[in-house]
């Protein structure tokens, strides 16, 4: 049995990825986070910080960007693919 959600670990990870991929602002922010994140940082950590600083704490569906259920490895992989 496949326990994934549309190819992602869970709903929260899928939902965060969906919003990034379908909002011009979030997409461009994610790309910038990949390009300009510090070497001691990951793109998704930088993205979460940007969203918290912009007062956009969650997706339009209410999933917080820093939800502990979000798979950060999958989010970093997805974000890195945005610039490659």
pTM of the model: 0.91
pLDDT at 53: 85
26 and 19 Cβ atoms separated by less than 8 Å: yes
The ranges of the chain with pLDDT < 70 are: 1-3
CA 52 to CA 64: how far, in whole Å? 10
Find the angle CA(11)-CA(16)-CA(18) to the nearest 5 degrees. Answer: 90
C-alpha gyration radius of the chain: 12
pLDDT at 54: 84
48 and 65 Cβ atoms separated by less than 8 Å: yes
């Amino acid at each position: 049995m496949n326990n994934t959600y549309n190819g992602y670990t869970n709903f929260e990870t899928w939902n965060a990825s969906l919003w990034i991929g379908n909002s011009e602002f979030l997409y461009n922010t994610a790309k910038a986070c990949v390009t300009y994140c510090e070497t001691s940082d990951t793109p998704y950590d930088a993205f979460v910080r940007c969203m918290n600083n912009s007062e956009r704490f969650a997706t339009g569906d209410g999933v917080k960007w820093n939800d502990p259920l979000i798979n950060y490895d999958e989010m970093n992989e997805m974000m890195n693919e945005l610039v490659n």
